[in-house]
Amino acid sequence: MKWLISLCIFTLWLQADEAQAIIKKLEANLRGDSMYATMKMIVTSKRGQRTVEIESWSEGNTKSFIKILYPKKDQGITFLKLDTQMWQYIPKIERTIKIPPSMMLQSWMGSDFTNDDMVKESSLEEDYTATLLSQTQSTATLELIPKQNAAVVWGKIIIDVDVVNAVPLKETFYDDRMQQVRIMTFSKVELHGSHKVPMVMELKPLEANKKTNSTKIIFEKINYDAKIDASYFTKQALIRYSR
Amino acid sequence: MLFSLAFRNIVKSKARSIITLLLSTVTTAFFIVYVAFTDGSHFQFIKSSVEIYTGYAHVNLNGYRDEGGYDTLIEDADRIDAILKNDASIKSYSQRFETYALLSGDEKAVGSLVAGIVPSGEKDLSKLHESLIKGAYLEDNDTNQIYIGSELAKRLKVDVGDQIAMVGSSIDYSFAADLFKVKGIFKTGLFEFDSQSAFVNKSYLDTVMLSDNMASYFTLYFHNNNTIDKMTTHLQTSLPSEVEVVNWKILLSALVQAMLVDSIFNYISISIFFLVIFFVIMIFSYVNIYTRAREIGLLRALGLSSKDIFGMLFMEIVLLTTLSIVVGTLIGASIAYYYELHPIVISGIAETYKEYGVISDEIPMNFDLFTIIWNALTIFTLNLAAIIYPISKINKLTAMEAMRYV
């Protein structure tokens, strides 16, 4: 009997260790020291479809600069994220405004992402405890439960991973009552430098009133480990690079 | 014969009768005034909350209250406007466009409700105009002028004449941004409202938000807001099926719940009051009846049955109670009526309870005939119920026992 219990505990430990290793590999693949990208964001809602073209520069997980290229009405609007703070510059009124905490759960650019999604720095590896639910030769399904003191909003995440390319296939997000809240799917994996990247991400909220909503992000250009001028991550950049 | 005996006893024992009359009269008057005061303060409370901004009823697209946002806007506001214009039960109405936007002064940015209103129309529907404390209220031809709450002005560190930047989403979800000049500052006393609300002339806000001929909802004021359920049910029949009428009982459900809890505590107080009154009357009647034990024994010896004695004593209390209830009701109702017309003023009450929506130091009583009648009948029934035990107790004594009773 003791042997059986020991074997079970050992198997669980091995599984947990393997799950953590998969997450670590996935994050190492997706995260570069710096990244430059251009992308299209297609927002679908009851009111129709809308496309936004974006150019972005980022350094690690804490600094990023975003510029809106299209539609023309929003052209030149810039966003700066430093740690957990976010500013925006609106050329039409020539004002730089810091987004207050009370606006963090508001939609970002009318999409299904919130301002909070844009500034959060959570790491799947550091903030969640992973458990392996199932595995095939090329895929694995993991359950991620937040660690006790992690500053995250989700009750849990179920993630399907392409273990060969170390990219996510699907993420299902649950709230603290363990209700499914949104699903993010990833597709069209491409090799960029030493990183394999899903070039298309689609977020679908699951709330009853948002059944027809979705936000699709299509990367057009990705340049990992690009040399980015430090001036992009200053408040002056909001006006300077708006033009 | 029993009536004559009862009447003779009342007249003969003047002191006893006067005390019974006074006790019952004061109780009736006090009860009517108490209920009129508590009902009056509730109605005043609700009136304040409803009339500050919410309004007595809203007409909005189905689902707007649950989902909000731009997916449930009334897209053809003119069509609804035409229907409301032809409804004779509506005294006044106006459309509003509400959005949540970022307002920024020179130093600080705050998330706030930004509502497009028809300034002239709002004068009859809300207290926005009356709540002005600095600057001026909006006009129908204003462009980029903004009317903000006093607490919001403090948070943004702006004053009349200063500039505020607004950044939000227009209805196609593109950026809506503009600069506004603070035209006026208002203070309703509702802290949350004063710290998170700003108003702009709707026709101008529509150009910024691309919301021409659109409305979040219409706010209504009926000729008779006391029968709001009937009014809203009637109006619903003339509106398209995708549009609903919601009255203040649903719009301010949290307030209604709070009033319900308060009413429960009032009923507990009233029950204790009833219990005290019941025992006071019963003990007083008990003492009264036993001081008349010899008299009752004599009547029994003369041939009156216990049923006759019961009838006589009961008749006495019916006569006294009827008289006192009539007098007490007249006094109580007069006080309630007077203070409905000339409300009691408690200085400082609005300041103390401003966060609950109390905007006036005046507390009117509620003069309602139906309530007054049930109040009076309750005291009448209590009086009669309280006499039954003492009468039945004395009736258990034989004629001899009663005559020897000391």
Are residues A47 and B67, on separate chains, in Cβ contact within 8 Å?
A: no
Which tens digit of pLDDT belongs to each residue from B112-156? Answer: 999 999 999 999 899 999 899 999 999 999 999 999 999 999 999
Are residues A110 and B174, on separate chains, in Cβ contact within 8 Å?
A: yes
Domain ranges of chain B: 2-50+255-404, 63-241
Most B CBs within 10 Å, among A93, A106, A210, to test the B interface:
A93
Are residues B102 and A103, on separate chains, in Cβ contact within 8 Å?
A: yes
Percent of chain B with pLDDT over 70: 96
Q: Write the residue in B63, B109, B174 that is nearest to A97 by C-beta.
A: B109
B11-24: average pLDDT? 84
Are residues A209 and B66, on separate chains, in Cβ contact within 8 Å?
A: yes
Q: Categorize the per-residue pLDDT at A10 as very low, low, confident or very high, splitting at 50, 70 and 90.
A: very low
Is residue A97 within 8 angstroms of chain B, CB to CB?
A: yes
Find residues 9-48 of chain A whose CB sits inside 8 Å of chain B: 43, 45-48
ipTM metric: 0.79
pLDDT surpasses 80 at B365: yes
Count of Cβ atoms closer than 10 Å to residue B351 Cβ: 10
Is residue A50 within 8 angstroms of chain B, CB to CB?
A: yes
Tokens of B385: 């119920």
Q: Write the residue in B71, B111, B178 that is nearest to A45 by C-beta.
A: B71
pLDDT at site B280: 84
Sign of torsion over alpha carbons B90, B94, B97, B101: negative
Domain of A180, CATH number, reads: 2.50.20.10
Nearest CA in chain B to A48: B172
pLDDT surpasses 90 at B396: no
Q: Are A99 and A77 in contact (CB under 8 A)?
A: no
Q: Residue B177 pairs with which residues in a beta bridge?
A: B167
Which tens digit of pLDDT belongs to each residue from B178-224? Answer: 999 999 999 987 788 999 999 999 999 999 999 999 999 999 999 98
Which tens digit of pLDDT belongs to each residue from B65-101? Answer: 888 888 899 999 999 999 999 999 999 999 999 999 9
The alpha carbon of residue A197 is apart from the nearest alpha carbon of chain B, in Å, by 29
Which tens digit of pLDDT belongs to each residue from A29-46? Answer: 887 788 999 999 999 988
* Contacts (Cβ under 8 Å, ≥6 apart) of A188: A198, A199, A200
pLDDT surpasses 50 at A7: no
- Using a CB-CB cut-off of 8 Å, the residues of chain B touching A98 are 109
Percent of chain A with pLDDT over 90: 59
Most B CBs within 10 Å, among A51, A96, A97, to test the B interface:
A97
Q: Are B131 and A122 in contact (CB under 8 A)?
A: no
pLDDT surpasses 50 at B165: yes
pLDDT surpasses 90 at B161: yes
Tell me what the pLDDT averaged over chain A comes to: 88
Backbone angles phi, psi at B53, to 5 degrees: -150, -40
pLDDT at site B347: 76
Is residue A93 within 8 angstroms of chain B, CB to CB?
A: yes
pLDDT surpasses 70 at B352: no
Nearest CA in chain A to B72: A46
Q: Are B242 and B61 in contact (CB under 8 A)?
A: yes
Higher per-residue pLDDT: A60 or A178: A178
Residue A204: give the domain boundaries.
2-240
How many domains, in total, are found in chain A? Answer: 1
Are residues A97 and B71, on separate chains, in Cβ contact within 8 Å?
A: no
